[in-house]
């Protein structure tokens, strides 16, 4: 006699399943992603699937054959790792049934996965992942509750006894990874910004305050070659800056003074600092500008109401990342307040890249 019980299928978006996944999934995913980057798996897959011999993807066995270490369980273990990346949409997965009846998974890079090809690629996020998985940062994150217990110090300072930027600069390898990672992210963001923002047109002299090794200015001047650029940053950063046509690298401290120019770019700067320090920088920018000059501020804009969109997850995650050294992401109203207190005459959000990354103008 058959059972009278009906099979009950669980809901795909069951709240308990979601909670269980969040309890351990992010840690596993981060570990797998970091390992995939260290092993160059994204690049191996990219090279293997560009040929006509693998139009539907490559198997774990094929990928394993390209790794420097071989053992009998390598392909099986690799398949398990690749499945995690597939479930997070960094790879696409199809299946092939072999003559013996066994099902084989075939993997290809997704549109998002292509951003993790080769840590040296100009549009790669691989080095940022490597930077974020540095043991000193991991140790700081394991003590995250300290941000609530001690509000006088940044999290990195609390755990390691020094500001995070000093910690990065004290480790030459980590410092190089950080600078290259920031340069790569900058290329991605600035390329997108220049597609939607035309506010650099007509500027003669543009100052990039905290411009790193000059990557933002180089992209801007490539589109607007009539601009003369000044890349302004700390001496230890400028020392690593390569020469670019039309760009002068200048050492200095933005809390002391800022070079004079027609316009000033502050990209990813204000979110690193408290309101008090932001006002110091903005006041120096105000002094360095002519009448009707402007500061172009590029930073994430925190929404007033928080949802569960990718943009909201990005901004709130970056906002909590800023606890490392006492900074924060800000709402549009908070940026407007900084603009008004520093005596600029007008403020506007001109455009947004990736929904969340605001391009704002402060006019003198």
Residues known to be catalytic: 271
Q: Decide: helix, strand or coil at residue 211.
A: coil
- Locate 216 and state its tokens: 């933002």
Confidence of residue 55 (pLDDT cuts 50, 70, 90): low
Average pLDDT, the chain: 91
- Determine contact, residues 230/208, Cβ cutoff 8 Å: yes
What confidence tens digit (pLDDT) does each residue in 264-286 have? 999 999 999 999 999 999 999 99
Q: Which domains does the chain have, with CATH numbers?
A: 25-115 (1.10.10.10), 195-363 (3.40.50.150)
Measured distance CA(155)–CA(146) in Å, rounded? 7
Res 206 pLDDT > 90? yes
- Determine contact, residues 59/105, Cβ cutoff 8 Å: yes
What is the H or E stretch that residue 182 is in?
helix 172-196
Strand order in the sheet with 205-209: 247-251, 228-233, 205-209, 263-267, 294-300, 357-363, 346-353
Structure-token match 């049934």, residue found: 97
Residue among 72, 41, 71 nearest 59 (CA): 41
What confidence tens digit (pLDDT) does each residue in 211-242 have? 988 999 999 999 999 999 999 999 988 988 99
- Please tell me the pTM assigned to this model: 0.86
Query: Among 38-52, 104-118, 319-333, where is mean pLDDT lowest?
Result: 38-52
Residue among 165, 109, 111, 115 nearest 137 (CA): 165
What confidence tens digit (pLDDT) does each residue in 86-117 have? 999 999 999 988 888 888 899 999 999 999 99
């Amino acid at each position: 006699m058959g059972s009278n019980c009906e099979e009950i299928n669980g809901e795909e978006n069951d709240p308990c399943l979601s909670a269980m996944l969040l309890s351990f999934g992010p840690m596993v995913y981060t570990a797998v992603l970091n390992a995939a980057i260290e092993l160059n798996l994204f690049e191996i897959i990219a090279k293997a699937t560009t040929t006509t011999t693998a139009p539907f993807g490559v198997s774990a066995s094929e990928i394993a054959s390209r790794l420097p270490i071989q053992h009998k369980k390598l392909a099986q273990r690799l398949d398990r790792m690749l499945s995690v990346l597939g479930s997070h949409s960094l790879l696409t997965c199809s299946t092939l049934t072999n003559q013996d009846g066994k099902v084989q998974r075939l993997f290809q890079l997704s549109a998002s996965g292509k951003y993790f090809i080769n840590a040296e690629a100009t549009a790669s996020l691989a080095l940022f992942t490597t930077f974020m998985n540095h043991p000193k940062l991991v140790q700081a994150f394991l003590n995250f509750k300290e941000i609530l217990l001690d509000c006088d110090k940044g999290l990195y300072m609390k755990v390691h006894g020094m500001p995070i930027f000093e910690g990065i600069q004290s480790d030459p390898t980590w410092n190089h990874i950080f600078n290259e990672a920031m340069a790569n992210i900058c290329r991605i963001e600035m390329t997108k910004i220049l597609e939607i923002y035309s506010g650099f047109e007509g500027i003669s002299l543009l100052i990039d305050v905290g411009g790193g090794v000059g990557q933002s200015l180089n992209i801007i001047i490539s589109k607007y070659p009539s601009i003369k650029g000044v890349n302004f940053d700390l001496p230890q950063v400028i020392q690593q800056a390569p020469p670019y046509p039309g760009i002068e690298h200048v050492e200095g401290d933005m809390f002391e003074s800022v070079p004079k120019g027609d316009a000033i770019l502050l990209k990813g700067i204000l979110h690193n600092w408290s309101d008090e320090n932001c006002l110091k920088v903005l006041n120096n920018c105000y002094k360095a500008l002519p009448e009707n000059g402007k500061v172009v501020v590029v930073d994430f804009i925190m929404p007033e109401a928080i949802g569960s969109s990718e943009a909201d997850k990005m901004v709130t995650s970056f906002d909590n990342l800023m606890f490392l050294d006492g900074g924060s992401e800000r709402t549009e109203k908070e940026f407007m307040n900084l603009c008004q207190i520093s005596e600029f005459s007008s403020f506007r959000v001109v455009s947004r890249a990736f929904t969340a990354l605001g391009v704002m103008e402060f006019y003198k």
